[in-house]
């Protein structure tokens, strides 16, 4: 495994990777924070929870801002919902724009402003770590956004896929392989710093419909397949890294089928944003609630 700018760790409990199916009673349309649950969980009051991630974890503009550090974490994102439901003490280090580098390096947020490395708060007292990162590595997700912004739905052919191919036929697969390496390194570092922590890796949701197009996702029609390859690749990298580390993987892609940008009940905003709010191309509060419920399912006492 090549060296990387990120690092992290294999969970000491050697939990198997699982693709979690959505429960029948899922209430992901709820944009209110999770309430303390009557269900017994293996972690609870007094336990330490550190959340790592990018804007898909921070859930920017879905509710009140939790901090003033420039990361724009929402008080209704899934880390806050999990903490509210269990009573755990939360450190939400997710930050808009974060790459896997942000695990171990400061993240620049503007002139004379930066967010400390996200792993700084993981230590031997940490009981739970959740992580969803990778979409910003090598501008993966930005490629989809810029495809819509620079070309739009009226463009013919596959200009976005062609632009990627101009960098080299294997440019995208190689970038995704690098991402997987970075995620593996990151998970190894998490265990090294937090040897007692349970680690849960969370996938990205459906963003692109399986078929068809829509105005909210103004990509060239023939480039929808290219955008799907990026999202599929991100989730494959996350799942493969979790598998190698022996930690739990929550497959949000499978759970969110039909809730893509073009869906009747989208969990991700497109070019236009519906109430109660989000950021264009990013999750609504419904997605945060869905993630929270699936993590809580993983934490239930048997």
Catalytic residues: 55, 282
Residues 191 and 43: their CA atoms lie apart, in Å, by 18
User: CB–CB of 150/210 below 8 Å?
Assistant: no
Distance set, CA 82 to CA 37, 213, 252, 267, 302 (Å): 10, 34, 16, 18, 18
Concatenated DSSP letters of 51-101: EEESHHHHTTTSSSBS-SSSS--BTTSHHHHHHHHH-PEEEE---TT--GG
DSSP state of 127: E
- Selection from 154, 281, 264, 276 nearest residue 217 by Cα: 281
- Residue in 73, 67, 68, 32 with CA at minimum distance from that of residue 54: 73
Q: Which candidate, 273, 281, 278, places its Cα nearest to that of 289?
A: 278
Name which of 171, 140, 93 is nearest 238 in CA terms: 140
Pairing of strands 248-250, 89-92: unpaired
């Amino acid at each position: 495994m090549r060296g990387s700018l990120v690092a992290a760790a294999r969970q000491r409990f050697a939990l198997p990777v699982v693709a979690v199916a959505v429960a029948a009673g899922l209430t992901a349309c709820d944009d209110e924070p999770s309430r303390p649950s009557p269900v017994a969980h293996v972690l609870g009051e007094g336990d330490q929870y550190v959340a790592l991630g990018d804007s898909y974890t921070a859930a920017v503009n879905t509710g009140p801002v939790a901090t003033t550090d420039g990361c724009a974490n929402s008080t209704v994102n899934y880390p806050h919902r999990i903490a509210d439901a269990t009573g755990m003490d939360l450190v939400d280090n997710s930050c808009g724009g974060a790459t896997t580098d942000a695990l171990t390096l400061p993240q620049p947020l503007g002139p004379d402003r930066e967010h400390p490395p996200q792993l700084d708060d993981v230590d031997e007292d940490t009981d739970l770590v959740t992580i969803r990162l990778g979409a910003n590595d090598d501008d993966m997700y930005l490629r989809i956004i810029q495809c819509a912004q620079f070309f739009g739905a009226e463009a013919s052919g596959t200009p976005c896929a062609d632009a990627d191919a101009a960098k080299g036929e294997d440019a995208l697969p190689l970038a995704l392989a690098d991402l997987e390496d970075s995620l593996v390194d990151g998970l190894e570092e998490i265990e090294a710093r937090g040897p007692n922590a349970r680690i849960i890796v969370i996938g990205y949701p459906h963003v692109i419909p399986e078929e068809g197009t829509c105005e909210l996702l103004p990509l060239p029609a023939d480039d929808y397949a290219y955008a799907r390859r990026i999202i599929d690749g991100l989730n494959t990298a996350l799942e493969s890294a979790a598998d190698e580390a022996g930690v739990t993987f929550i497959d949000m892609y499978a759970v969110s089928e039909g809730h893509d940008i073009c869906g009747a009940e989208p969990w991700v905003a497109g070019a236009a944003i519906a109430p109660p709010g989000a950021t264009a191309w990013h999750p609504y509060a419904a997605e945060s609630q869905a993630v929270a419920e699936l993590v809580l399912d993983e934490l239930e006492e048997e």
